[in-house]
Structure 1
């Protein structure tokens, strides 16, 4: 008998297929402390959780039978995914179940903010009949800027167009063809903040989107702009939003998520009558709770019955012999993908992966998936996993080409990656060096030797005396220690690249200061 443990409250209606299966016993035991979970987890083949249960390495140490962990939702922060992967346990999530719920909540918040509905409701309950104070604005003919046009952003765009809104959209993987199909105008973030009457964000919270809307962006916006965030707290810098509300630059805001949750009792956002706040309700509908449960239950059932599944957060199981052969290359592939993603500024149109040397004799499909996941998940977060990465690339209009070239003239094994956008092409390559592990050995045709880990400053510049010293001075003044340095060039006085490993993160101000050095062509702050 296959045994499944449900350790968090999950819709039993959504668990239907698991509960109805004759060969599966489902035990629902919620609120278990870690020690008690450790004491019983060894009896189970599958574990289903939401966000309360923490599936730690310690828990997994006791899970000798466990084959799959299902997360009824998107985020897997409460699951030690690397530890699960190391033990051969598949981690499944449900990225699609709350799409409509979150899109509808976004639009409900937009309407409530535009027409001041919560404030008018409170006024009525105070015994007032005040029609003048609550004059709102129409959505018709207004410009809506959507930052992040994934599943949820696209659904918001459809609803906005039904209300007669003109939609501007930014997404790092938005192709012109997809923009046309959704009837949106493709823009940069700066173009959106300048032109939009309403701005809504639908991105994951990553380094590139942390405080995506801050003082600079608010300063560029129209007077009377209205702001929404039903995605992740931290995308909008709350201090900057408060200042913009105080000055009158922002006429209203509607927020479902916050940098720290629950929202503090004395948070200044609570002081504004033109701000609508809800306690992270984007996925809180009966249908969404059922849908995520259905999705994860069906996927877990497929894993348990050795059928194809699609929503694995970690690498799906492979035959032991093949996994052992390619496993050393998986981390290298994902790091190369993440590096390339941070070196391009425009939507990717083509990804070319080349395998040379010993690796060309192996089954490299899993490595290609890790590369795609590294590139796509940098901007799309948990929506992209090892299983659906090729499909996400296809849906984004990205051409993926994979080739093998046999022996390499220099390296025993080499993975080459070329990422093309409408305006540029980036090339990175890496190898496994005996005794040193994964290494980055090529960057845009220049030979380097860098470890793909931690934080980096990556520059291209004109090769001339003093460049290293000037950058070092800026980093030193900012209290940033240089841990490693690699410089590559082809000729004296020509173009060169530099990769600096740094111990502390470089702020956007530090990066801009480096970019202002004469002869600096490009500079990037990279985190691997």
Structure 2
């Protein structure tokens, strides 16, 4: 029977200057057919390049739309070498049988450190003072300059970044409160509050650490800024779609918000050559950074390692644990067997059809695991070597089949 492609025939397309770790992991695992580019591709180039790729690795600039994915006949997995996956049509990928992997935890420390540093800078009025000195002034004053010790940090979203920030902030003597849509066990002396409104009213500085989902889109607008303390501070290193920027600008203009630090924006330049536009540019008391919360060498190294290892596990064993859009399946490798992967439409009776067909043919199943998500089911099964050719043909004959692969 035809087994999986030899490793030197499996093609990886890595875009946007991923860390060298990503290439090293793949090469160490025996994969050598790797095209590495330091930049994103425009849609036409991308559509052409992706046609022959089995795996594609991207960061945030590359947009994998349904139209692009439907042209990628050989594509079997996508790696987002970052936290977010907004740049991928996840539903289209799932329907086409393509799992998407990301790195949700590798840059948490980098983001938490930046936010803490920004909190200190804002409380000391450093952004404005620095701007004055750059213009030749000398605004030596303690007005609106404070230590962060004893101040209340309000963290919206107590996940991997929010909770790590909580620990760092407490180490500086800050009091931490947080709000999350689910009840979370606090770290240290942090305490969960019952509502976003309560957090906004109590916090001296508010920082967002939430995903981009319908409930968080423009969650901070005029009404919420009005709820905040007079002379408080605001930080967003989460998602640009969480904040109504014009309303934030108005709150800063009025003095309600004494300063802010923003790393993500509703509309961001596609390249360094495109001018960044925002009403926040006119304020000296606002720190603006170009979406670099997780952009440290340490974070990029960890991300390269994490996502590339997920590529290897999926290619070698069919393991989809931590895939963001796909059923999560993992079974141990069994010697003396052939492993088949069956991706199919999630309708009742598919597994029954497969097992009945295999039983009729006397095919011995050594192991199998089926999980479903949305409209897709994913079955991993091991069969006796002598039965593998027949098993493959019978899986191909299942009407609901989207894709069948043989790994070994």
Q: TM-score, normalised by structure 1?
A: 0.57
d(CA) in 1 for partners of 2:70, 2:217 = 34
What is the match of residue 295 of structure 1? 306
Q: Distance in 2 between matches of 1:209 and 1:83?
A: 23
1: CA distance, partners of 2:98 / 2:277: 43
Q: What's the secondary structure of 2:214's corresponding residue? A: coil
Q: Give the whole-Å Cα distance in 1 for the aligned partners of 2:70 and 2:253.
A: 52
Matches within 5 A, 1:131-280: 131-132=140-141, 136-175=145-184, 178-179=185-186, 181-187=187-193, 188-262=195-269, 267-280=278-291
Residue 110 of structure 2 is aligned to residue 101 of structure 1? yes
Residue 250 of structure 1, CA deviation: 1.6
Unmatched runs of 5 consecutive residues or more in structure 1: 330-362, 372-385, 387-528
Deviation track 1:191-230 (CA, whole Å, cap 9, x = no partner) reads 1111111111111233222232322223332221111111
Matching of residue 119 in structure 1 with residue 124 in structure 2:
no
1:83-98 equivalences in 2 (<5 Å) = 83-98=92-107
Aligned residue among 10, 17, 20 for 1:12: 20
SS in 2 for 1:118: helix
SS in 2 for 1:216: helix
Question: Distance in 1 between the 2:31 and 2:229 partners?
Answer: 61
Tell me, what secondary structure is at the counterpart of 1:15?
helix
Using the alignment, how far apart are the partners of 2:265 and 2:129 within structure 1?
Answer: 24
CA RMSD in angstroms comes to: 3.1
Q: Secondary structure at the match of 1:305?
A: helix
Post-superposition offset of 1:291: 1.7
Q: Confirm or deny: 8 A CA contact 1:120 1:134 kept in the other structure.
A: no
Q: Distance in 1 between matches of 2:249 and 2:46?
A: 43
* Alpha-carbon distance between aligned partners in 2 of 1:200 and 1:31, rounded to the nearest angstrom: 30
Aligned-partner Cα distance in 2 for 1:209–1:8:
28
Q: Residue 200 of structure 1 aligns to a residue in which SS?
A: strand
TM-score by length of 2: 0.73
Once the two structures are superposed, residues 435-493 of structure 1 have per-residue CA deviations (whole angstroms, 9 ceiling, x without a partner) of xxxxxxxxxxxxxxxxxxxxxxxxxxxxxxxxxxxxxxxxxxxxxxxxxxxxxxxxxxx
* Larger RCO: 1 or 2 (CA < 8 Å, sep 6+): 2
SS of the equivalent of 1:242 reads helix
- Residue 27 (structure 1) aligns with: 35
1:366 aligned partner: 371
Between Structure 1 and Structure 2, which shows a larger proportion of strand residues? 1
Whole-angstrom CA distance in 2 between matches of 1:289 and 1:77: 19
CA distance 1:321–1:167, change in 2 (3 Å): closer
1:91-139 per-position Cα deviation (integer Å, ceiling 9, x unaligned): 1111112211111111121111111223333333334433127651111
Write out per-residue CA displacement over residues 351-390 of structure 1, whole angstroms, 9 at most, x where no aligned residue: xxxxxxxxxxxx99734x669xxxxxxxxxxxxxx9xxxx
* In structure 1, C-alpha distance between the alignment counterparts of 2:341 and 2:17, rounded to whole Å: 38
- C-alpha separation in 1, matches of 2:68 and 2:203: 48
What secondary structure sits across from 2:317 in the alignment?
A: coil
1:82 counterpart SS class: helix
Deviation, structure 1 residue 52: 3.1
CA shift in 2, pair 1:323/1:45, >3 Å: closer
Q: Deviations over 1:153-209 (max 9, x none)?
A: 11111111011111111001123xx12x44211102111111111111111233222
- Structure 2 residues without counterparts, runs of 5 or longer: 1-7, 330-338, 350-367, 379-408
Contact 1:201 1:230 in 2 (8 A): yes
**How far, CA to CA, are the matches of 1:271 and 1:36 in structure 2?**
37
Q: In the alignment, which residue of structure 2 is the partner of 1:375?
A: none
Partners of 2:59 and 2:53 in 1: how far apart? 17
